[in-house]
Structure 1
Amino acid sequence: MRPWQRFTAIEYAKPSALHEEIARRSNVSVATARELLLRAGDRVRGTLGLESIPLSFNADRLQFQNVAGLLVLASGIELEIAPKFLGSAPGWREDFFLLAMLSHHGRLLDNEGLKSSARANSDLASLIGRSLIEMYWKNQRRPLRTYRRLHHEDFALEGDFDPEDLSVPSEEGFPQSVTSFTRENPYNAIIRAAAAGLAPVVPDVETRLRLERLAQHLPHQPRPLRLQDRRLPSRSKAWQPTFDLSLDILRGLGGAYDPKNALAPGYVMQTWQVWEQLISLSLRNAFSPKNVQLQSSNKLGTRTQDSVIRDLNVFPDAIVSIAGTAGVRRIIVDAKYKGHVDRSSKSISNADIYESLAFARATGISEVALVYPRPVEGALTSSDEVGYAAEFAGAVADGVQIRAIELGVCGISGRRGLKRFADALAKTL
């Protein structure tokens, strides 16, 4: 088998005989290649909690649906699945990893303390670096300490020792061990290694210096060999987001796209969730968090089950309040994915219209914006790029105006890419 074979598929692309290509290039049988794909699909199903595997075989052609990321099929055989709205456009991997980071760590844009700096310079490395810095110093009033058995040498006896060692001390003193409540622990080792490793790839000089200072502020200790997800002690739970972000930075999710480190857990995700998170964060970045309600519960009616009457609630993705000369406009914004990406439809489905009417009736708001990603078809065009936004369909029903908007995503990981995306969405609304 040839070493390091990587294959690329595109979500919802035209069904292809990918298993035959894998067999041809990797010197495995077609049946084995097909089985490898099915096993990988089953692992994704279990990881994401899906009802069925996210790929389908039809007439010996396969298609991936509603997932993107990287998978290991076998030793030396890897598969990357690009989202439909990025396709095979240049730089799609960097764009995807930015979206993956935002999906895993929504606080990167949701933190009001980062708002101004995030809008000024939105390259991925700087954004992650500033977030790590803010999260670290915010918690410094309660340093991340754990009880640990430490070995040292000293002429003052304050710990446990072997009586035989007292006869001939070393130049530093008597060897002994002390149980200490210390910052020297695997958690801080991970955070220090993340800051030190991210600093060299951050283009923003100020952020780079602050990361170096963060690393110097923590005790010097070797980086743990295994990067495992761990639950911090309850007394240190405020540090959990900082630790989680540091782990992802070391795994390659932060800083820059690194194909050698792109196989850690968390690199496969449901694309509709990524899209929903991106829209929510962009709205809060463009209009400020106080003007955006996310996933608020609104009563539509009641339902009866087993003679028990319960409220029937609906949960629109976002309700945005926009101040204008005529007063404050309130708009329901719902992130949509399927029905546009999977079928390249250029109209609003009946199901989306019915859902919009339910949202409008429950909230008393008569304007609904359905926001879709623009699929990339073939060669990249200007309308596929970040900063593009256009209304492509509309409907009016029962006094409710429903607008369908599509947004370009390609290039979102570039300089000011996030700001351009958020500004385009805000301008269209």
Structure 2
Amino acid sequence: MHELSIDVLGGLGLNYKQGQAHAPGYLVSTWRVWEDLLTVAARLGFGRSAVVPQKGFTLGTKTKMGTGAVTKLSVFPDCVIEADGARPRLLLDAKYKGHVEKGQLRISEADMYEALAFSKATGCNLVVLAYPAQPGDVPQPVGTCTAFESVQVDAVRIVGIQVETRHISRAGALKAFAGNLADGIVESFQ
């Protein structure tokens, strides 16, 4: 990444497509960077032992019709954040692309169905879907979370949040990002 930054600053240019950034000799999966940033920030904000990243949970089984072979069907939420005191157990899933309809950000059906699958497999009824914030006029403090939609399906509550990322490269910003993210996630369920 350091070399990519130097090349971009040197004028080689950067070509961006949804979910990927291209530069001469480089391919960056921006969705993976977002997922990794949220995982690191969740560990800093909630404590390393409270955050379980990318653990597989069995949702059901698949049967091969010709052979009768049965295999597990697993799902992998980005982070399980374990309960601590008054904070309940919840799931955090990084979402890279928001779905904008009539100028309003909303949770897409695909994201909603995936969140419901995570909830069923883990037995956790609180799911937060974290999207990078759409740039507005005035940057909010780094890591500020803004809830934009809440979905209730039986006992399952899914909350979509936007997370401010501008100025993440400043000194001390990762710590502020992590603290604001943790606070914003908890507040989104109150």
Q: Judge same fold: TM > 0.5, yes or no.
A: yes
Instruction: Give the deviation of 1:307 after TM superposition.
Output: 1.1
Work out the percentage of aligned pairs sharing the same amino acid: 36
Structure 2 residue 158 is the aligned partner of structure 1 residue 402? yes
Aligned counterparts of 2:160 and 2:62: Cα–Cα separation in 1: 30
Hey, what does 1:67 align to over in structure 2? Answer: 20
Hey, what does 2:42 align to over in structure 1? Answer: 283
Hey, what does 1:274 align to over in structure 2? Answer: 33
Of 370, 377, 381 in structure 1, the residue corresponding to residue 138 of structure 2 is 381
Normalised by the length of structure 2, the TM-score is: 0.82
8 Å CA contact retained: 1:360, 1:367: yes
8 Å CA contact retained: 2:96, 2:131: yes
- The correspondence of residues 208-223 of structure 1 with structure 2, limited to 5 A, is none
Quickly say closer, same or farther: Cα 1:270–1:302, change in 2 above 3 A.
same
Aligned counterparts of 2:75 and 2:59: Cα–Cα separation in 1: 7
User: What is the letter of the counterpart of residue 170 of structure 2?
Assistant: G
Quickly say closer, same or farther: Cα 1:5–1:348, change in 2 above 3 A.
closer
Does the residue aligned with 2:178 lie in a helix, a strand or coil?
A: helix
Does the residue aligned with 1:329 lie in a helix, a strand or coil?
A: coil
8 Å CA contact retained: 2:14, 2:21: no
Does the residue aligned with 1:307 lie in a helix, a strand or coil?
A: coil
Aligned counterparts of 1:424 and 1:360: Cα–Cα separation in 2: 24
Aligned counterparts of 1:322 and 1:352: Cα–Cα separation in 2: 24
Hey, what does 1:312 align to over in structure 2? Answer: 73
Which runs of 5 or more structure 2 residues have no equivalent in the other structure? 1-9, 186-190
Does the residue aligned with 1:302 lie in a helix, a strand or coil?
A: strand
Normalised by the length of structure 1, the TM-score is: 0.38
Aligned counterparts of 2:81 and 2:167: Cα–Cα separation in 1: 26
Aligned counterparts of 1:349 and 1:382: Cα–Cα separation in 2: 25
Is the strand fraction higher in 1 or 2? Answer: 2
Aligned counterparts of 2:164 and 2:125: Cα–Cα separation in 1: 26
Does the residue aligned with 1:313 lie in a helix, a strand or coil?
A: strand
Instruction: Give the deviation of 1:324 after TM superposition.
Output: 2.4
Structure 2 residue 59 is the aligned partner of structure 1 residue 300? yes
Q: Which has the larger radius of gyration?
A: 1
8 Å CA contact retained: 1:344, 1:375: no
8 Å CA contact retained: 1:340, 1:372: no
Structure 2 residue 182 is the aligned partner of structure 1 residue 423? no
Aligned counterparts of 1:296 and 1:345: Cα–Cα separation in 2: 32
Of 332, 351, 362 in structure 1, the residue corresponding to residue 91 of structure 2 is 332
Quickly say closer, same or farther: Cα 1:5–1:332, change in 2 above 3 A.
closer
Does the residue aligned with 1:338 lie in a helix, a strand or coil?
A: coil
User: What is the letter of the counterpart of residue 72 of structure 2?
Assistant: D
Aligned counterparts of 2:82 and 2:163: Cα–Cα separation in 1: 21
User: What is the letter of the counterpart of residue 68 of structure 2?
Assistant: S
Number of residue pairs aligned between Structure 1 and Structure 2: 173
User: What is the letter of the counterpart of residue 96 of structure 2?
Assistant: Y
8 Å CA contact retained: 2:144, 2:184: no
RMSD: 2.3
Moved over 6 A (4+): none
Hey, what does 1:216 align to over in structure 2? Answer: none
Which runs of 5 or more structure 1 residues have no equivalent in the other structure? 12-63, 73-264
8 Å CA contact retained: 1:339, 1:345: no
Is the helix fraction higher in 1 or 2? Answer: 1
Aligned counterparts of 1:66 and 1:418: Cα–Cα separation in 2: 22
Aligned counterparts of 1:386 and 1:357: Cα–Cα separation in 2: 29
Instruction: Give the deviation of 1:398 after TM superposition.
Output: 2.4
Structure 2 residue 105 is the aligned partner of structure 1 residue 349? no
Instruction: Give the deviation of 1:268 after TM superposition.
Output: 3.2
Instruction: Give the deviation of 1:360 after TM superposition.
Output: 0.6
Quickly say closer, same or farther: Cα 1:323–1:5, change in 2 above 3 A.
closer
CA deviation digits over 1:292-320, x for unaligned, max 9?
A: 11111111111101310111111110100
Aligned counterparts of 1:335 and 1:298: Cα–Cα separation in 2: 17
Hey, what does 2:3 align to over in structure 1? Answer: none
Quickly say closer, same or farther: Cα 1:353–1:284, change in 2 above 3 A.
same
Quickly say closer, same or farther: Cα 1:375–1:310, change in 2 above 3 A.
same
Aligned counterparts of 2:11 and 2:94: Cα–Cα separation in 1: 36
Aligned counterparts of 1:329 and 1:398: Cα–Cα separation in 2: 18
